[in-house]
Structure 1
Amino acid sequence: MPATEAAAVASFYVMILGFFVFKTLKVKDLPKIFWATAEQTAKVMFVIATAGFFQYVLLYTRIPQEAIAFISTSFTSIVPVLLIIIALLVIMGCFMEGTAILLITVPIFVPLAKAFGFDVVQLGIVMCISLAVGVLTPPVGLNLYVMASISGVKVMAIAREALGYVLIMILGAAAVAFIPELSLGLARFVP
């Protein structure tokens, strides 16, 4: 079942639980719930639309091609390029949401990785791990705010405690980047 249909089924299931099992949901609450959902969806769609426009501008101005040409002539090895990619994604993750970052950086990083002969699946996993660091770092760190709202603890207190996880995740991203078997090993056994 695709994600959209699964989300619709889950929403229906939650409504049944709210109305009939827990009896915490009332029909008069539905317009407020639907409005809040529409607001959240609009925020996400705005980010995606803005990132799509930025992606179009990048492609129109040939920035990805120019970046590939510059980096290909500046570096002879993929190692510094991967370290730059990881650093950029972690820094961008401190200020932006992950979907927008992916929409902006994938058109640049994928051709760059291909130019160096780096596996695109491996790059995708490195990018996901690097972006996961962003949701644990202030000021935008979405997971920090979720944990703070659930626990009642201040965001910066949670950020201090999460620092160890952030360091481990950065090391994990570097390990996946430089040890291909960590990300591609199982896939090679699939016929």
Structure 2
Amino acid sequence: MMIGSVFVVFVASLALGVPIAISLGFTALSASFFVPSLPADAVYIFRSMVTALDSYALLAIPLFILSGNIMAKGGISRKLFDFFSYFIGNKTAGLPIAAIVTCLFYGAISGSGPATVAAVGSMTIPLLLELGYDKKFVIPMIAVAGGLGVIIPPSIPFIVYGQSSGASVGDLFLAGILPGILIALCMIIYAYFYCKKKGEDKEKLEANTQALRAKGFWPMFKDSFWSLLTPVIILGGIYSGIVTPTEAANISVVYALIVSLFIYKTLKIKDLAAVMKATVNTAAPILLVVSIATVFGKVLTFMQAPQLISNAITGTFTTKVSILLIINAILLVVGMVMDTTPAILILTPIFMPIIQLIGVDPLHFGIIMVVNLAIGFVTPPIGINLFVASSLTNMSVMEIGKRAIPFIVAFLMALMLITFIPEISLFLLK
């Protein structure tokens, strides 16, 4: 009963438009009102907020955001897109496929869904529209493909999940590779059949491809080489055991600066102040939410919420398949109304006893959780990828969301495969 009252306070705060961090903090403080014996007074909460951020692993979050911002400003996404377009630009659905693959690769640079949409979308959307593709197809495609940014490592949600669950961040990064490729493949299949059915302006596509190929393969490859090398350096360093994910984040910042300032020369020293400001504007709210949501999770633990919710779910649903389906449904709904970071920090301690009971690997569950919440990036009312895509175009958020449904269905099909075939996530860890 008391737990229900706490959740009512939380939901009411969100409904009133109170920012998520303030809602979490206020709800955590209100818990001691409902349960006076609870050791969670204001002093404990504020002290725990500071302690929650005293984590070496969390340093990777602002560093990967900074690296992504540097590369976005340096125009890395354009070079990736041109490289893939060189090979398949004149094939059926070639350029849409190149855009999806670019999102896949750029996700291995930025670790952020909205950043991937902004960097890839600002470059590919105008080009694809100019080449005759329907904006009702192109814009939703980029918005949904941006969700790959949080599944392909390095991924900020994986770092947050690892912090909350105790799972290895490096293993989570490795586990995210095949699911990310599978989701991209499902989207590519839909894009192919859409373009096959609707048709394309072959003359424009051929002219665009010839213009790219006129530069020659080696000049184009040399121009794209440093962009393509980025995920190799970041992920190769982690998986070879040379560096930790946090150290890899440091390396990614240095590498991004060297490539953007001295090799491509697309970034100027004077631009760094704006890049740093954008990084702080993005990272500070995330870390604030991390600190408060961690405390909120501790308060729920004090109230034995994980055990009570676990008993309620396992008492109602008795098979592993049904439990996984209901968890997926809960995560999808939560992803529609809550940002990824607080959702992970709140729900991980609640679901962890359940997944341990039914024998699901915590690494596998981390992938399931992040894929579910990534779908929330493109579902109203939160759908931050929709807002980013809308800001790049004159298309409304709701219209993008409606037109994104086929791509979301492709995402959901991949999610079901990932959920019930754990080898997709765990194969590379063997």
Aligned to 1:109: 351
1:90 matched to 2:357: no
Residue 62 in structure 1 maps to residue 301 in structure 2: no
Shift in CA distance, 30/174, structure 1 to aligned 2, threshold 3 Å = closer
Q: How many angstroms apart in 1 are the aligned matches of 2:425 and 2:280?
A: 37
Runs of 4+, deviation exceeding 6 Å? none
* One-letter amino acid of the counterpart of residue 48, structure 1: V
State the partner residue of 2:413.
171
Q: How many Å separate the matches in 1 of 2:295 and 2:399?
A: 37
Deviates more, 1:80-89 or 1:55-64: 80-89
1:61/1:160 Cα in 2 relative to 1: closer, same or farther (>3 Å)? same
Task: Tell me whether 150-159 or 135-144 shows the greater mean CA deviation.
Answer: 150-159
Higher relative contact order (CA 8 A, sep 6+): 2
Q: Is the 8 A contact 1:68 1:115 kept in 2?
A: no
1:138 equivalent to 2:365? Answer no
Shift in alpha-carbon separation, 1:187–1:40, aligned structure 2, 3 A: closer
Q: CA deviation at 1:176?
A: 2.6
Residues 1:154 and 2:396 are matched in the alignment: yes
| Equivalent residue letter for 1:104 | I
The AA in structure 2 aligned to 1:40 is T
TM-score (norm 2): 0.39
Is the 8 Å Cα contact of residues 89 and 127 (structure 1) preserved in structure 2?
yes
Partner residue of 2:268? 25
Residue 114 of structure 1 and its aligned partner are, at CA, apart by 1.3
CA distance in 2, matches of 1:106, 1:132: 15
Deviations 1:143-170 (A, max 9, x none): 2233333445432332222211212222
CA distance in 1, matches of 2:255, 2:327: 41
2: distance between equivalents of 1:130 and 1:182?
16
Q: Which structure has the greater CA radius of gyration?
A: 2
Please state whether the residue corresponding to 2:378 is helix, strand or coil: coil
**Preserved contact between residue 144 and residue 159 of structure 1 (Cα < 8 Å):** yes
Query: Could you tell me how far 1:5 is from its partner in structure 2?
Result: 3.7
Aligned length in residues: 187
Identity %: 34
Aligned-pair Cα RMSD in Å:
2.7
Residues 129-186 of structure 1 show CA distances to partners (whole Å, capped at 9, x for unaligned) of: 21121111122222223333344543233222221121222232223323344444x2
Structure 1 distance, partners of 2:352, 2:386, is: 29
5+ residue gaps, structure 2, are 1-242
Three-state SS of the structure 2 residue aligned to 1:140 is coil
Cα gap change, 1:18/1:124 in structure 2, threshold over 3 Å: closer, same or farther?
closer
Distance 1:18 1:56, change over 3 A: same
Q: Is the 8 A contact 2:378 2:386 kept in 1?
A: yes
Q: What TM-score comes out, normalization by structure 1 length?
A: 0.80
Q: How far 1:72 sits from its partner (Å)?
A: 2.6
Structure 2: how far apart are the matches of 1:122 and 1:10?
A: 26
Instruction: Give, as a single letter, the amino acid of the residue that structure 1 aligns with 2:268.
Output: L
C-alpha distance in structure 1 between counterparts of 2:362 and 2:266, whole Å: 49
CA–CA distance in structure 2, aligned partners of residues 75 and 18 of structure 1: 53
Shift of 1:23: 6.2
How far has the Cα of 1:50 moved from its partner?
1.9
Residue 297 of structure 2 corresponds to residue 35 of structure 1: no
Q: For structure 1, which segment, 73-82 or 103-112, has the greater mean C-alpha deviation from structure 2 after superposition?
A: 73-82
Q: Which residue of 1 aligns with 2:313?
A: 71
Output the CA distance in 2 between the equivalents of 1:103 and 1:113.
Answer: 16
What one-letter code is carried by the residue in structure 1 that aligns with 2:339? E
Measure the CA separation in 1 of the matches of 2:275 and 2:304.
Answer: 43
Distance 1:7 1:117, change over 3 A: closer
Q: 1:23 to 1:73 in 2, by over 3 A?
A: closer
